[in-house]
Structure 1
Amino acid sequence: MSHNTIDLNKQRQPLDHLESVWLFGYGSLIYKADFPYLKRKPACIYGWQRRFWQGSHDHRGTPEAPGRVLTLIEAPGARCAGMAYQVTPDTFEHLDHREKNGYLRVFTQLHWLDEPGETEGLVYLASADNEAYLGPDSDEAIAAHIAQSEGPSGPNSEYLLKLAQALRDMNEHDEHVFAIERELLKLINR
């Protein structure tokens, strides 16, 4: 599958018949909401975990030297916390462009962190069959890759460090993110 998924997302899931949609963010969408939204609430999804296994050709890297950003992998029993945004369907013009690098929209159940309840929402996933997928590596290798990558949205290290801080601000722990952050900080402090 091509890493540009804009048209594919529009074909697979037209949303214009809906008044609003909840969107779940687990990476930069937690701390960088560069789109209008009706509501914003901390939420989580079950059965998924974050991994720095997706290449970024357009934001935190270049086509010649992609950075590493997050995707989700299935993990029974896992819990992934993030931020949910209630948006109007026209917001996906911007979001589909922002998340075009291999990500497909998928519906999933969102569970609120600050109150009882749940709702259906969308999440962007980048599976192993997209051209930008980089796959697993050691924490040290992923941190070294992130340390040297930069793209139009800035240094790849900024993505990781802002995400780690946003998770701390939410009182959430993600061992994968924090382990790579520790390795990155070792490289920066050398």
Structure 2
Amino acid sequence: MVLSVRSVLKLPQSLNFKIIQKEKIFSVKGFLGSYSFFLHLPLLYLDFSKKLQFYYINEILPNFVNITNIVMCQLFVGIILGYHKVINIVGIGYYVNIKHKTKLIFTLGYSHLVSIQIPNFVVVKSRKRRKISLKSIFLVELNNFASVIKNFKLPSAYKEKGIFFLSEPVTKKQGKKT
């Protein structure tokens, strides 16, 4: 059996992790929370003083080691710093309400209200009726939830109305020439 080192992650001092190798359970604890999950990959994990080393056996699944490395780095950053996204709602009569911290209710110019359940892993704050702040420790789930919200009212290229991300550039097309 030949072991090949594929990647080494250096962990910050504020992050605690524990690995149960027989059951392949990986748990991480940081400032913003903790998370534990089951690893399906046939990898070996060795724990040496705040370094997490990913080994694989005889060239089995080397690309999945890279993916595991990326996902672990995103998880570490999320648990220590967190991820943040701000959504702007632009348009006359467009606004959002938070109901019981579990549901978002949008008024977007349709004949009905649009509502969505807030997932457990996302914290939603809204100080203004047209601005939503989303925070989470999971980057992928945060982006998925934000894109679902944005799809309720896609930005209009001619009127600059709709739901926008704060960092998203808004380009307005020129209307009809007279």
Which of 1 and 2 has greater Rg? Answer: 2
TM score, norm. by length of structure 2 = 0.23
Greater helix share, structure number: 1
Q: Structure 1 or 2: larger strand share?
A: 2
Q: Which structure has more RCO (C-alpha within 8 Å, separation ≥ 6)?
A: 1
Question: What TM-score, normalized to structure 1?
Answer: 0.22
